[in-house]
Structure 1
Amino acid sequence: MTRANKSKPGTPPAPTIPAIPKPDVPARLAALPSMPIGELKAEWRRLFGTEPPPYNRRFLESRLSYRIQELAYGGLKRETLERLEALGEQFDGRSITLRRIRHDQRPIAGTRLLREYQGVEHVVTVTRDGYDWQGRPYQSLSAIARAITGTRWNGWVFFGIRRAGA
């Protein structure tokens, strides 16, 4: 969890972020995709009171969409946030490797990945904790690709989940 920042004497107060009227929400959400990136960043400054992160447009739009709704309808309760944090730690076992993998990109547990290499078909099963190849557990597809080829490979590229250079 994050700590609340207490301002020190002599520092300027944090900017006040105005509430958004509920009737304005649909129009503001609809306007985000057509805004130039400069306007998105200015909107970020208005709604968050901080400089925007150096992420792509898609991230800015999705986070701004959430923030607009949060300011209009209210955010999650503190208890809900704590529960979500506990569930997340329970799910990933506090593993920084699993936490770094975006779960919308990672194949669903039970998925079978097939790759033919030098005339041999290799089958990898996605598990909840990683991957299984030839009855052995692996933490990454790259480790499996290296075991198969003997050279370093990006596992996502080797198994055709992502194109090289993408």
Structure 2
Amino acid sequence: MEINILQEYTSLEEMSVKELLKEWPRYFDTPPKTKSNKKYLVNELIYRVQELAYGGLTKKTIDRLEALAESKSLNERKYDNTRLAIGTHLIREVKGVEHHVTVLEDGYEYQGTKYKSLSGAAFAITGTRWNGNAFFGLLKNKATRPYHKSRGRK
């Protein structure tokens, strides 16, 4: 029997939280983490419907995800600057002025001030919020916008 996922989703969306909670045991052995968040309940249920209809993640994928989750904490992944060697100098010219940022063991240094992130250093240079990797041209396969993009004005 083929399941129409869109139809199932629409059906779940139309249910009340109480009805969704009654539906829950059909798909799960454990109670939901929250019993009042309709969006959460709908999303978990529809994911499970799709999983049953099309198959879940492979054991290899689950093992890989678990290994990644155990390898580093969220903060370590968020502020991972291991791909840049300590002592590396990043140089960016803005409005004719060359700016130098040095990679430290636990952050970045610009004009004697230490920053946790490259984005913080980019903000100190430009006064605008930037993805630090984009600002210094460290992103792969992504075109970085030029500084002071015209936005269609001439």
TM-score of the superposition, structure 1-length normalised?
Answer: 0.42
TM-score of the superposition, structure 2-length normalised?
Answer: 0.45
